[in-house]
Amino acid sequence: MAKSSTKANSGKLKGESPIKVPPLPPGSDLPTSFAEPQGSGGETHQSTADAALTMTTQQGVPVADAQNSLKAGPRGPTLLEDFILREKIFHFDHERIPERVVHARGYGAHGVFELTDSLAEYTRADVLSTVGQQTEVFVRFSTVAGNKGSSDLARDVRGFSVKLYTKQGNWDIVGNNIPVFFIQDAIKFPDLVHAVKDEPDRGFPQAQTAHDNFWDFASLSPEAWHMIMWIMSDRAIPRSFRTIEGFGVHSFRLVNAEGKSTFVKFHWKPRQGLQSVAWNEAVKINGADPDFHRRDLWQAIESGDFPQWDLGVQLFDQETADKLPFDHLDATKLIPEEDIPVRIIGTMTLNRNVDNFFASTEQVAFCTANVPPGVDFSDDPLLHGRNFSYLDTQLKRLGGPNFTHIPVNAPRCPVMNFQQDGHMAMRNPIGRVNYEPNSWGAEGGPRENPEAGFVSFPAETQGNKQRIRSETFSDHYSQARQFFVSQQPIEQKHIGDALVFELSKVERVDIRARAVSHLRNVHDDLAATVADGLGMALPDAAKATRPTLDLPPSPALSILGNGPDSFKGRKMGIFLTDGSEAALFTALTDVLDAEGAVWEVVAPKIGGVTLDDGMAVAAKQKIDGGPSVLFDAVAVLPSADGVQMLVKDGASKDFVSDAFGHCKFIGVGANAKPLFDEARVPPELDDGCLPLAKPADAKAFVAACRALRFWPREMTVDLDAASIKKS
């Protein structure tokens, strides 16, 4: 799309006031039941009839500000005395039993991390210092909004959490497949999740943001709109856990032996390349195989095709941080890789599936506060809230304080302290002494170690205690715009399509209008596309605290610009009937095997087919249960007699029409045309449909499949294609 011609893309505002809570829209007054007394008789409570409702704590204490946690200065650390933050998150953490409140649907695997580039110059952490050292890991991938029984292909953020069992204790990099987040302050997390979850009166929709509550929250939260762009992109419907990036989201610190601090952001880069699916395809995958991502990871590891990610870091000092055009402590911002390159320092390989899903994947407990000596925290207020929150969640879910005694959570290094007893204790201190300091000498148990122990970086901080949002957090749209202009045209179209779909499910017209008003601050072409798709007038732009900067594109933000260069690890569906050509089938599977790809035979019957030379071939999928959405590309190779049977079968016609509509590469056998005609796939097949008439054609077909999708086709099969033809 063309760049916006607005003139409000440069300049700075001075002396901005702290972020204010926006007023409630007309007609959205809280119900009177929210003001009912909590006690038992006799109390005098404020009535909604004679005064505005005042928010209170569970103890009835009026709340002046529920948008910002208590900090030491605008950019200072969050203070432990903030009882409002503590109570709000404490209650939120205990809302569900026993599944996780968020990230309930997850899947995990074991593996190993090997360091290839030492960061000893920057950190005391042994795991990041000793080249060649291998560290055991456990990784859990997840969706965020759905429950344990939801489907894998929901449009959602994917959790990407890594537990490294280092020699200096467990280190948890608790991240996502998106490098930014919806909110800037942890005190807003309960509100975000309440808004995104199923609506409480009706209990639906499940694992979806396409409803009034979420978009009401988003349209009243300007800080969310960078993240909105990411979740409306194809990043939110990945092809596989194996094809997503992982991000630590926050800025952390590395601290070296001399006590010097360096800021760091963590990245996991998939060696499999980035890849997503089409939205229509995701909807159908959820019906055909709601465990699509789980099955994919399990089968890849079982087959020995171990997924790998490179660990990269962005390192920068305080001077560099001060020069950035945004605040790196703001979790709604990222640092473009073109500005601070990602330095690759090691590789993680997932090489073992779990022995028992519950024992490992369900009971694993991650916490952002689990860091080894040499890794420390920045003053990101969202990170501070997460550090504070996770222990509450683990106490509720796992039944007591001894969850580190569960094998998947147990450190692989010695654990020595005086903590004892409690629910499900599997170990206790041995001997007479269970306290410190003590005078029992060698029998007195462990002692503090100032040289090897964790020491917090002595960051200087000052400021008044106040609930405030730093002015440096107030640019909400510049990076949202940068993300959009960094996408290739087809990716931009998908963002527009997603926004139209989501907002079309919103019943209140005023919420739709508010949402589109934010888009006008991101990109006028996108706002116009969405307004047109909704059949509404283009609203005025939402009021912004700062003008949107026209930042340069960042190629690293595009999926299509960072895809794989092979078909390795991808899956081909080969549709056969009795009498299909054996020589062609053999040639195709040989090329796929050489490529490192996976293939499955789809047939009219699960018993398989007999080829023209008498060879029996077993089927992995019956056509009714093996639709083309389960594959990255398909080859349709029926015999002349077999195709006459297929043209009468609805599932067979859907197989080719869906593959065509989802822009997949299709190998077209010599006898396949009647099926394509009956499925009403255009007879003038495009360059994404390649002939597979003879064995020699197999090599060229598989080579073409390395591009994964033939996206130009979408311009011919999608009603909304006109939205980007002009771009």
- Please give the C-alpha separations between residue 1 and each of 44, 193, 459, 524, 525, in angstroms, as whole numbers: 59, 33, 45, 10, 7
Q: What is the model's pLDDT at position 249? A: 98
Q: What is the model's pLDDT at position 683? A: 67
Q: Which among 366, 394, 409 is the end of a domain? A: 409
Confidence of residue 48 (pLDDT cuts 50, 70, 90): very low
Q: What is the model's pLDDT at position 722? A: 54
pLDDT at 403 over 60: yes
Task: Please report how many Cα atoms fall inside a 13 Å half-sphere around the Cα of residue 83, on the Cβ side.
Answer: 8
Same domain, 609 and 640: yes
Catalytic annotation on 103? yes
Same domain, 614 and 698: yes
Q: What is the model's pLDDT at position 96? A: 67
Q: What is the model's pLDDT at position 97? A: 55
Q: Across the chain, what does the average pLDDT equal?
A: 90
What is the CATH number for 527?
1.20.1370.20
Backbone angles phi, psi at 653, to 5 degrees: -65, -40
Work out whether strand 70-72 and strand 465-467 pair parallel, antiparallel, or are unpaired.
antiparallel
Contact 605, 577 (CB under 8 A): no
Range 657-682 average pLDDT: 96
Domain assignment present for residue 7? The answer is no
Q: What is the model's pLDDT at position 357? A: 95
pLDDT at 28 over 80: no
Q: What is the model's pLDDT at position 15? A: 32
pLDDT at 598 over 90: yes
For 217-270, the three-class secondary structure string (H helix, E strand, C coil) is HHHCCHHHHHHHHHHCCHHHCECCHHHCCEECCCCEEEECCCCCEEEEEEEEEE
pLDDT at 49 over 80: no
Domain assignment present for residue 431? The answer is no
pLDDT at 16 over 60: no
Same domain, 261 and 289: yes
Domain assignment present for residue 390? The answer is yes
Range 220-245 average pLDDT: 98
Catalytic annotation on 176? yes
pLDDT at 10 over 60: no
Range 480-505 average pLDDT: 98
Among 50-54, 93-97, 332-336, which is the least confidently predicted range? 50-54
Q: What is the model's pLDDT at position 30? A: 35
Range 598-602 average pLDDT: 98
Amino acid letter for position 293: H
Range 202-226 average pLDDT: 97
Contact 240, 289 (CB under 8 A): no
Same domain, 500 and 604: no
Q: Which among 496, 527, 561 is the end of a domain? A: 561
- Eight-class DSSP state of 581: -
Among 325-329, 460-464, 680-684, which is the least confidently predicted range? 680-684
Range 473-484 average pLDDT: 98
Find the helix or strand (DSSP H, E) in which 333 lies: none
Range 369-376 average pLDDT: 94
Q: Which of 176, 177, 213, 671 is catalytic?
A: 176
Q: In terms of pLDDT, which residue wins out, 354 or 63?
A: 354
pLDDT at 94 over 90: no
Confidence of residue 178 (pLDDT cuts 50, 70, 90): very high
Q: Which among 561, 594, 626 is the end of a domain? A: 561
Q: What is the model's pLDDT at position 496? A: 97
Q: What is the model's pLDDT at position 91? A: 76
pLDDT at 130 over 80: yes
The number of folded domains in the chain is 3
Confidence of residue 21 (pLDDT cuts 50, 70, 90): very low
Same domain, 526 and 586: no
Which tokens sit at 235? 């990043």
Domain assignment present for residue 5? The answer is no
pLDDT in tens, 694-719: 999 999 999 999 999 999 999 887 76
Q: Which of 68, 103, 409, 671 is catalytic?
A: 103
Same domain, 609 and 633: yes
Q: What is the model's pLDDT at position 151? A: 96
Same domain, 573 and 557: no
Domain housing 155: 83-409
Same domain, 490 and 394: no
Same domain, 505 and 575: no
485 closest CA partner among 434, 422, 540, 558:
558
